[in-house]
Amino acid sequence: MNIKDAAVFISCIGIVISAGGCQAEPTDTSVVTSSDTSVSEVIVSEISSETSLRTGETLEILLEPPSCEIEYDDNRYGAYFTDQYMDTVGVRLGEAYASSLMFCYSDLDRDGDDELLIGDSSGIYAVVSEDFGIYTESLIWGFNLSQGPVGAEYIGSEYFLCYVHTGNQGLFYTSRIYGYDGDHGGCGEYAYLAGYYGDIGESGSSETMWELYIANDPSDLMMITGDETMDPEDPRYTYTMLPYGDYAIGRAEDPLLDELENSFDEQVAGIRESSSGLTYLEWRSAGDMLEE
C-alpha cells in the first residue's frame, strides 16, 4: 500500500536570488517570487554587518563546518528569510514559533558553498540551499501530538535522522533517514520505517502493520516535495512489509518486528561510523534576520 504520511510536513520551494560562490562579493539582489499565477519583484537590501556578526548560542548539534564567511552567507540567504521563511515554516509552525528558531550555516556536501540549517535544541527543522539564484527548501521535522514538532538529528555524511511517535490512530510511528543531495540541492528519502495500528477486522482489538523502505543507491533518492508518496513498486527501494497482525505496538520484543527495526538501525549505525570532522557551530536567532 502507499504511504500517506500526515505526521511529517515537507515541502521543496524555489525562489530566485543572485547567484555566486564564496569567492564572489555579496551584493544587493532583485528577487522574483511567485504566488499562484502572479509574479512580483522585490528589492532586498544587503544584510548589515551588525546583524551578520551577532552571536547566538551553541546548540549541542554536531555538523559539518562552514566554508564561507558569515557576511557572505547572510547576504546569500537574506532573501529567504524576508520572502519565504514565514510562508512555509511560519505557516506550518506559527509565526511566533518560527521566529524563535535558530539558524546556522554548514557545508553539508563539502562543495565550497554553505547550506542554511534551521533548528533548535530538538534538532534540524529545515535544510535550505541556493544555487544559481534558486532556493530549495526541505522541511524535515516530524510532528508528535503531545510534544509538537520534532527536529531531525544530523548523523553525518549528509544524512538526517528523525524518529517520531505521532500519537495518531493509524500511522503512529515513523523513523526516517533523509539524505542531502547536493546535485538537487535538497533532501531525499533514504530509509523509512513506519508503523500503523487499528481495529482492522472490527474485532474490538487493534492490530499493527509495518513497512520498511531502504534505498538501493544513495545517489538516487526520491526527493521530498510535500506531495510525494512512497511506492512499494519503486525500483529505487527495497521494500519489506509485515501485514496487519498481532505485533506488539512500539519496541516490545517481536522477532519479525525486531528484524525490520534492526535493518533500519544498521543503516543509522553505518552512517555514524563513516562520519568524521563534525563540530559544534554557532547558532543565531531567525528572528534577527526577520527584523531586517
Chain segment 232-243, per-residue pLDDT in tens: 999 999 999 998
pLDDT at 166 (0 to 100): 75
Chain segment 182-230, per-residue pLDDT in tens: 999 999 999 999 998 876 666 667 788 899 999 999 999 999 987 778 9
Assess if residue 12 is contained within a domain: no
Q: Poorest-confidence range of 56-60, 149-153, 249-253, 263-267?
A: 249-253
Q: How confident is the model over 252-264, as a mean pLDDT?
A: 84
pLDDT at 126 (0 to 100): 96
pLDDT at 236 (0 to 100): 98
Assess if residue 2 is contained within a domain: no
Instruction: State yes or no: pLDDT of 257 exceeds 90.
Output: no
pLDDT at 53 (0 to 100): 30
Assess if residue 237 is contained within a domain: yes
Assess if residue 267 is contained within a domain: yes
Assess if residue 4 is contained within a domain: no
Strand ranges (DSSP E) for the chain?
A: 29-35, 38-44, 62-63, 102-106, 115-120, 123-131, 134-139, 142-144, 148-150, 153-156, 159-165, 170-181, 186-198, 207-215, 222-223, 237-245, 279-280, 284-285
Chain segment 114-155, per-residue pLDDT in tens: 999 999 998 999 999 998 778 899 999 988 877 888 999 999
Instruction: State yes or no: pLDDT of 26 exceeds 50.
Output: no
Structural domain count, the chain: 1
Instruction: State yes or no: pLDDT of 46 exceeds 80.
Output: no
Give CA–CA dist 101/286, Å, rounded.
6
Confidence of residue 42 (pLDDT cuts 50, 70, 90): very low
pLDDT at 51 (0 to 100): 30
Instruction: State yes or no: pLDDT of 41 exceeds 90.
Output: no
Assess if residue 21 is contained within a domain: no
Amino acid at 238: T
Q: Which domain holds residue 62?
A: 29-291
The residue among 257 and 178 whose pLDDT is bigger is 178
**Percent of the chain scored above 90 by pLDDT?**
55
pLDDT at 186 (0 to 100): 95
Assess if residue 20 is contained within a domain: no
pLDDT at 7 (0 to 100): 34
Instruction: State yes or no: pLDDT of 39 exceeds 90.
Output: no
Give CA–CA dist 199/207, Å, rounded.
6
Please report, to the nearest 10 degrees, the dihedral formed by the alpha carbons of residues 185, 2, 239, 248 taken in order.
120
pLDDT at 13 (0 to 100): 33
Residue 98, burial from CB neighbour count under 10 angstroms (0-12, 13-18, 19+): buried
Q: Which residue is listed with cell 566554508?
A: 67
Assess if residue 1 is contained within a domain: no
